[in-house]
């Protein structure tokens, strides 16, 4: 019996349901078309919900999915039916906030694609083969950014807390719109 919390996948889609970055840790979706079908169904099921202030949750095909949206990006984390929902949401929040830090608050599809390397490294630092590696956004972003390839605008110029502040500010502004 494997009682260790297990993440089945982490998915980042755009506002039309297209992939920005995904990572599957479970072999329940053996082919790319199975994955795409899952993402499509997931997207259409959650599209209409409002997951912008608080993370939302849904049961779907015997999985628990927690998700959160910002701008034109949709973040999803999938776990098994019996999983502790709050653990899943911790992972989601870690991913969500880390991306916010890494993109310095400008969290949208364009920025995410332009910094896809950061997003992919971020995924790599959160979960390893389904096992949760790190959930603290500062730690995740720190690990990714300490060797950011983007030399032109090094993140090291601003401290993490500054970046977090920028992200918050940005979020607040987007909410007021």
Partner 1 sequence: MAQPLVKKDDDRDDEADYSPFLGIEKGAVLQEARVFNDPQLDPRRCSQVITKLLYLLNQGETFTKVEATEVFFAVTKLFQSKDIGLRRMVYVMIKELSPSADEVIIVTSSLMKDMTSKTDMYRANAIRVLCRITDGTLLTQIERYLKQAIVDKNPVVASAALVSGIHLLQTNPEIVKRWSNEVQEAVQSRAALVQFHALALLHQIRQNDRLAVNKLVSSLTKGSVRSPLAQCLLIRYTSQVIRESANTQAADRPFYDFLEGCLRHKAEMVIFEAARAITELNCVTTRELTPAITVLQLFLSSSKPVLRFAAVRTLNKVAMTHPMAVTNCNIDMESLISDQNRSIATLAITTLLKTGNESSVDRLMKQITNFMSDIADEFKIVVVEAIRSLCLKFPLKHRSLMNFLSNILREEGGFDYKKAIVDSIVILIRDIPEAKETGLLHLCEFIEDCEFTYLSTQILHFLGIEGPKTSDPSKYIRYIYNRVHLENATVRAAAVSTLAKFGAMVDTLKPRIFVLLRRCLFDNDDEVRDRATLYLNTLGGDGAVVQTGEDVKEFLFGSLDIPLVNLENSLKNYEPSEESFDIYSVPREVKTQPLAEKKAPGKKPTGLGAPPAGPPSTVDAYEKLLSSIPEFANFGKLFKSSAPVELTEAETEYAVNVVKHIFDGHVVFQYNCTNTIPEQLLENVTVIVDASEAEEFAEVASKPLRSLPYDSPGQTFVAFEKPEGTPAIGKFSNMLRFIVKEVDPSTGEAEDDGVEDEYQLEELEVVAADYILKVGVSNFRNAWESMGADCERIDEYGLGPRESLAEAVNAVIDLLGMQPCEGTEVVPNNSRSHTCLLSGVYIGNVKVLVRLQFGLDGPKDVAMKLAVRSEDESVSDAIHEIVASG
Which positions from 146 to 165 touch partner 1 by CB under 8 A, shown as an x/- string? Answer: xxxx-x--------------
Q: Does 57 bind partner 1 (CB under 8 A)?
A: yes
Q: What is the CA radius of gyration of the chain?
A: 16
Kindly report the number of other CB atoms within 10 A of residue 158's CB atom: 15
* Residue nearer to partner 1 on the CB measure, 120 or 165: 120
Task: Single out the residue of 17, 26, 28, 36 in contact with partner 1 (rule: CB under 8 A).
Answer: 36
Helices (H), ranges, the chain: 32-46, 85-102, 109-114, 116-126, 137-145, 160-176
Integer Cα distance of 42 and 128 in angstroms? 23
Q: Does 132 bind partner 1 (CB under 8 A)?
A: yes
Q: Tell which positions 90-109 bind partner 1, by CB under 8 A.
A: 90, 109
Of 97-105, 145-153, 159-167, 168-176, which part binds partner 1 (CB under 8 A)? Answer: 145-153
Report the nearest approach of partner 1 to the CB of residue 176 (Å).
Answer: 19
Task: Single out the residue of 47, 58, 80, 171 in contact with partner 1 (rule: CB under 8 A).
Answer: 58
Q: Does 120 bind partner 1 (CB under 8 A)?
A: yes
Beta bridge partners of 58: 65
Integer Cα distance of 112 and 15 in angstroms? 13
Integer Cα distance of 11 and 86 in angstroms? 18
Beta bridge partners of 80: 63
Q: Does 171 bind partner 1 (CB under 8 A)?
A: no
Task: Report whether 4 contacts 79 (CB < 8 A).
Answer: no
Q: Which residues bind partner 1 (CB under 8 A)?
A: 1-5, 19, 21-22, 32, 35-36, 49-50, 54-59, 66, 72, 84-90, 109-110, 113-114, 116-117, 120-121, 124, 128-129, 131-135, 143, 146-149, 151
């Amino acid at each position: 019996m494997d009682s260790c919390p297990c993440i089945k996948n982490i998915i980042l889609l755009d506002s039309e349901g297209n992939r920005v970055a995904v990572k599957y840790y479970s072999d329940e979706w053996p082919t790319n078309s199975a994955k795409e079908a899952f993402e499509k169904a997931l997207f259409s099921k959650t599209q209409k919900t409002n997951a912008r202030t608080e993370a939302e949750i849904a049961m779907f095909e015997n999985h628990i999915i927690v998700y959160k949206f910002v701008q034109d990006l949709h973040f999803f984390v999938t776990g098994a039916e019996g999983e502790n929902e709050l653990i899943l949401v911790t992972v989601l929040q870690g991913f969500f906030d880390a991306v916010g830090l890494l993109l310095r608050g400008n969290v949208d599809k364009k920025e995410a694609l332009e910094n896809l390397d950061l997003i992919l490294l971020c995924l790599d630092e959160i979960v390893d083969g389904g096992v949760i590696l790190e959930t603290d956004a500062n730690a995740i972003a720190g690990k990714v950014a300490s060797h950011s390839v983007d030399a032109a605008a090094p993140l090291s110029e601003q401290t993490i807390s500054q970046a977090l502040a920028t992200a918050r500010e940005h979020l607040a502004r987007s909410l007021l719109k």
